[in-house]
């Protein structure tokens, strides 16, 4: 009998693992289980083009039924996994079916942290396609919109809503600046100004006390007693890993499925993407990366390891995330923010583009955020991925040096 | 030989391709992908295909005849 790999979770981590198994020449059965009934789709557009209405469900589909068939991937949609029997090598589904496996990949991702202020009508979170569609419907009715949480998703929703013509948008966060977990106050302050310049009211440094439903809409009550009227509220306060279904599996769970450097949670059990927590050689300790590129890269290494078990591939969490806000692409790589020292380097168009470079106390480059300057991101990302330290000064000079124009002739 | 194609309209400058294969992909000053080579030999196809698949907006294609 041919071997079976069961992949649980059908978003980018799961779909890419299934596809990469085939690309790596795996000739066993590949079964992809997903709780949602819609065809697997990609998430970054949910706060960007799909919310704005500039991209469609078809545009963000990761795997059609036909593509699955052609690749020899058995798709079990609308089926949730409810348990894992590691010793017996079986995945239990919530309808009672048990799927035997030789290898299993856990790719159940994360869900939006629910609103601690109640789930009233008009109060949204944003994680799934259904969430995005419901939010888009409300935003098309106009504002006011209050976004609670100025992390990546909250900041993107505020920006997209402005682009959709929502007139009255307020972004609230108890931290003094947006993206406070990833950036220092100075750089985050520049992004706070970007919101203000684009007509978003910002209320940073003040928490939310509660949300009430009144005739004609919602009221968001802030800690300083301000009351913000809203037609729509978005709560973007982070995500929690979908690892509850593994509670009785005996696997080590600690805000995610704890894995070794090979993404292995146990013999023949691997985890990929937002649900996986694994050792980070450059940060020390275990890290749960919650970014697209990490999920894709980890899917590839895990698939290769399953297909060619005699040469397992280690996975180093990829410290890279992009975020599109207004007309800027914001890109972060490596370690940023916190107490790291930083310098600002102006981009080719200094009004629109810059890089903030971060360094450890000894001047070794640690990471960077670039705004509107993807070329600088490339330099910084390559340096951040190296084990031998580069000095911040070296990166600064590389970014500041004029460079010969790249040849465009080969492009078609 | 395989042929590499890029959709310059779709490209957002997310740069995953350049980090994966900087002998084939680069970005111009506006952050749009530039193909340094339009053809890659058989021995490079797997690596360049992985780089193309790392594009978050699927702007890249590696076509094997
Ligand atoms: C709105 C939004 C915007 C984003 N924008 C960016 C961005 O610009 N850049 C970036 O780098 N990253 C971004 N991300 C993060 C990126 O999308 C995630 O890192 C990525 O989706 C992780 O993929 P995953 O497959 O591990 O998990 P998920 O995408 O969370 O998918 C998990 C899947 O598993 C399914 N599932 C859960 N439990 C079960 C179960 N018990 N049984 C069966 N199936 C189950 C879920 O339904 C889901 O389909 C964004 C995320 C969101 C939500």
Question: Looking at residues A347-375, what average pLDDT do you find?
Answer: 95
Report how far residue A258's alpha carbon sits from residue B27's, in angstroms, rounded to the nearest whole number.
37
Is there an atom of ligand 1 within 6 Å of A45 CB? no
- pLDDT tens, A152-193? 999 999 999 999 999 999 999 999 999 999 999 999 999 999
Q: Is A148 exposed, middle or buried (0-12, 13-18, 19+ CB in 10 A)?
A: buried
Is there an atom of ligand 1 within 6 Å of A241 CB? no
The answer to whether B29 contacts A324, with C-beta atoms less than 8 Å apart, is no
- pLDDT tens, A84-96? 999 999 999 999 9
Q: Is A225 exposed, middle or buried (0-12, 13-18, 19+ CB in 10 A)?
A: exposed
Q: Does A326 touch chain B (CB under 8 A)?
A: no
pLDDT value of position A76: 98
pLDDT value of position A260: 98
> Of all helices (H) and strands (E), which one includes residue A194?
helix A185-197
Q: Considering only CA atoms, which of A128, A62, A112, A77 is closest in space to residue A299?
A: A62
The more confidently predicted of residues A388 and A382 is A382
Say whether pLDDT at A268 is over 80. Answer: yes
pLDDT band of residue A412 (cuts 50, 70, 90) is very low
In chain B, residues with a C-beta closer than 8 Å to the C-beta of A412 are 5-6, 35, 38
CA-A132 nearest atom, ligand 1: 1
The answer to whether B12 contacts A324, with C-beta atoms less than 8 Å apart, is yes
Taking the centre of ligand 1 as the mean of its atom positions, its distance from the CA of residue A376, in whole angstroms, is 27
Fold of B2-63: Alpha-Beta Plaits (3.30.70)
- Domains of chain A listed by start with CATH number: 4-111+239-307 (3.50.50.60), 123-235 (3.50.50.60), 327-405 (3.30.390.30)
Q: Does A405 touch chain B (CB under 8 A)?
A: yes
The answer to whether B26 contacts A411, with C-beta atoms less than 8 Å apart, is no
pLDDT band of residue A239 (cuts 50, 70, 90) is very high
Q: Which residue has the CA at smallest separation from atom 14 of ligand 1?
A: A44
In chain B, residues with a C-beta closer than 8 Å to the C-beta of A374 are 13-15, 27, 31
Dihedral sign of CA atoms A339, A345, A346, A352 in order? negative
pLDDT value of position A1: 78
Please provide residue A138's backbone torsions phi and psi, each rounded to the nearest 5 degrees: -70, -40
Burial code (b: 16+ CB inside 10 Å, e: under 16) for A173-202 equals bbbebbbbebbbeebbebbbebbeebebeb
State the number of CA atoms in the 13 A half-sphere of A230 facing the CB: 32
Residues 6+ apart with CB under 8 A from A105: A5, A6, A7, A8, A14, A17, A270, A271, A272, A302, A306
pLDDT value of position A409: 42
Q: Does A375 touch chain B (CB under 8 A)?
A: yes
The answer to whether A378 contacts B38, with C-beta atoms less than 8 Å apart, is no
Is there an atom of ligand 1 within 6 Å of A110 CB? yes
Please provide residue A69's backbone torsions phi and psi, each rounded to the nearest 5 degrees: -60, -50
Q: Does A43 touch chain B (CB under 8 A)?
A: no
pLDDT band of residue A401 (cuts 50, 70, 90) is confident
What ranges make up the beta strands (E) of A27-102? 29-34, 73-77, 81-85, 90-93, 98-100
**Structural domain boundaries of chain B?**
2-63
Q: What is the dihedral of CA B4, B8, B14, B19, to 10 degrees?
A: 30
Asked whether the beta carbons of A44 and A86 are under 8 A apart, the reply is no
Residues 6+ apart with CB under 8 A from A358: A184, A334, A335, A336, A337, A340, A341, A342, A365, A366, A367, A368, A392
The answer to whether B56 contacts A293, with C-beta atoms less than 8 Å apart, is yes
Taking the centre of ligand 1 as the mean of its atom positions, its distance from the CA of residue A48, in whole angstroms, is 15
SS (H, E, C) A68-86: HHHHCEEEEECCCEEEEEC
Is there an atom of ligand 1 within 6 Å of A48 CB? no
- Distance from the Cα of B54 to chain A's closest Cα (Å) equals 7
Chain B residue closest to A380 (CA)? B19
Please provide residue A270's backbone torsions phi and psi, each rounded to the nearest 5 degrees: -120, 155
Say whether pLDDT at A5 is over 60. Answer: yes
- Distance from the Cα of A4 to chain B's closest Cα (Å) equals 24
Question: Looking at residues A7-24, what average pLDDT do you find?
Answer: 98
Is there an atom of ligand 1 within 6 Å of A151 CB? no
Q: Does A410 touch chain B (CB under 8 A)?
A: yes
- pLDDT tens, B44-61? 999 999 999 999 999 999
Residues 6+ apart with CB under 8 A from A277: A241, A254, A255, A256, A257, A258, A259, A271, A286, A287, A288
* pTM exceeding the 0.80 threshold for the entire prediction: yes
Q: Of how many residues is chain B composed?
A: 65
DSSP state of A273: G
Say whether pLDDT at A356 is over 80. Answer: yes
> Which residues on neighbouring strands pair with residue A402, listed in sequence order?
none
Establish, for the pair of chains A and B, how many residue pairs have beta carbons separated by less than 8 Å: 75
Q: Which of B19, B35, B53 sits opposite A410 (nearest CB)?
A: B35
Q: Considering only CA atoms, which of A67, A76, A96, A82 is closest in space to residue A4?
A: A76
Is there an atom of ligand 1 within 6 Å of A367 CB? no
pLDDT value of position A8: 99
* Mean pLDDT (chain A, rounded): 95
Is there an atom of ligand 1 within 6 Å of A9 CB? yes
Q: Considering only CA atoms, which of A216, A218, A134 is closest in space to residue A170?
A: A218
The ipTM of this complex is: 0.96
Report how far residue A219's alpha carbon sits from residue B54's, in angstroms, rounded to the nearest whole number.
43
Q: Which of B13, B35, B36 sits opposite A374 (nearest CB)?
A: B13
Is there an atom of ligand 1 within 6 Å of A321 CB? yes
Report how far residue A259's alpha carbon sits from residue A271's, in angstroms, rounded to the nearest whole number.
7
% of chain A with per-residue pLDDT over 90 = 93
């Amino acid at each position: 009998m041919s071997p079976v790999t069961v992949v649980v979770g059908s978003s980018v981590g799961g779909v890419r693992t299934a596809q990469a198994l085939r690309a790596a020449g795996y000739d066993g059965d590949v079964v992809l289980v997903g709780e949602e009934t819609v065809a697997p789709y990609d998430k970054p557009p949910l706060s960007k083009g799909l919310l704005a209405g500039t991209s469609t469900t078809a545009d963000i589909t990761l795997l059609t039924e036909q593509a699955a068939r052609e690749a020899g991937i058995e798709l079990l949609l609308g089926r949730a996994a409810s348990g894992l029997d590691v010793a017996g090598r079986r995945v239990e589904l919530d309808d009672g079916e048990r799927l035997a496996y030789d290898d299993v990949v856990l790719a159940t991702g994360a869900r939006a942290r629910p609103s601690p202020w109640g789930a009233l009508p008009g109060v949204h979170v944003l994680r799934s396609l259904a969430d995005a569609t419901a939010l888009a419907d409300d935003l098309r009715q106009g504002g006011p919109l209050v976004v609670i949480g100025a992390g990546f998703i909250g900041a993107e929703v505020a920006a997209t809503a402005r682009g959709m013509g929502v007139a009255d948008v307020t972004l609230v966060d108890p931290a003094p600046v947006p993206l406070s977990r990833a950036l220092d106050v100075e750089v985050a302050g520049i992004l706070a100004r970007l919101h203000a310049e684009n007509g978003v009211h910002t209320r940073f440094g003040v928490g939310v006390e509660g949300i009430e439903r009144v005739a004609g809409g919602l009221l968001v009550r802030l800690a300083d007693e301000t009351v913000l009227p809203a037609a729509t509220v978005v709560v973007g306060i982070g995500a929690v890993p979908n690892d509850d279904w593994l509670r009785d599996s005996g696997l080590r769970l600690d805000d995610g499925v704890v894995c070794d450097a090979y993404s292995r949670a146990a013999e023949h059990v691997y985890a990929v993407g937002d649900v996986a927590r694994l050792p980070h050689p450059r940060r020390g300790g275990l890290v749960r990366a919650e970014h697209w590129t990490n999920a894709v890269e980890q899917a590839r290494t895990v698939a290769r390891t399953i297909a060619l078990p005699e040469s397992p591939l280690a996975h180093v969490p990829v410290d890279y995330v992009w975020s599109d806000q207004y007309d800027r692409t914001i890109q972060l790589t490596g370690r940023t923010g916190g107490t790291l020292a930083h310098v600002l380097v102006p981009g080719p168009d200094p009004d629109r583009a810059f890089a903030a470079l971060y360094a450890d106390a000894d001047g070794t480059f640690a990471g960077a955020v670039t705004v509107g300057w993807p070329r600088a991101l490339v330099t910084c990302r390559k340096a951040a991925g190296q084990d031998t330290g580069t000095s911040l000064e070296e990166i600064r000079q590389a970014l500041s040096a004029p460079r010969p124009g790249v040849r465009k002739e080969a492009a078609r | 030989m395989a042929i590499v194609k890029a959709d310059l309209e779709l490209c957002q400058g997310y740069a995953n391709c350049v980090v994966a294969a900087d002998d084939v992909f680069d970005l111009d000053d506006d952050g749009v992908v530039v193909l340094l080579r339009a053809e890659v030999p058989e021995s490079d196809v797997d690596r360049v295909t992985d780089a193309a698949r790392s594009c978050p907006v699927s702007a890249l294609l590696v076509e094997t005849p």
